[in-house]
Structure 1
Amino acid sequence: MKRFTCGELVEVITAYLDHALDEPSHVAVETHLACCDDCGHFFDQFRVTIRVVGAPPPEKLSDRTRDRLMSAFRNRRQS
């Protein structure tokens, strides 16, 4: 049976949540989560973060604000 270290689990947690792992890897993640309190806490926090960040923003940005932010991002990338 495949086994994950804590570091490996962190790298595949998104694939696990997206149901993109093969069956042995999926089972290995679940087994690790059941046995490792630290990874279990990490997983719970990760899901809460996704739920909070994934919620739509309460209001839409104005076109002017959006343009300013996009310009700042572009300028930052070019620096």
Structure 2
Amino acid sequence: MTKPVKVDGPPVQLTPEAIATRVHGLMLVKCVITREGQMRDCRVIKGLEPMNETVVKALEASRYTPVMFQGKPV
């Protein structure tokens, strides 16, 4: 199996609220990468409140290489 690699998409940017409240830390977000490399069904497992929506939107706008198993995308 090959790991997915980011091909295209916007960088995650801090929101004004996150900057004002000096939010920092680790987020855990679960997404599905389709065979075409699209991100979908993203949901926050462990979030940072002013950043949750922004991070999900950035991930869903990104494209990745699909996971390959025995030469086929899965």
Identify whether the pair has TM-score above 0.5, normalized to the shorter chain. no
Tell me the TM-score normalized by structure 2.
0.27
Tell me the TM-score normalized by structure 1.
0.25
Relative CO higher for 1 or 2, CA cutoff 8 Å, sep ≥ 6? 2
| Structure with greater proportional helix content | 1
| Structure with greater proportional strand content | 2
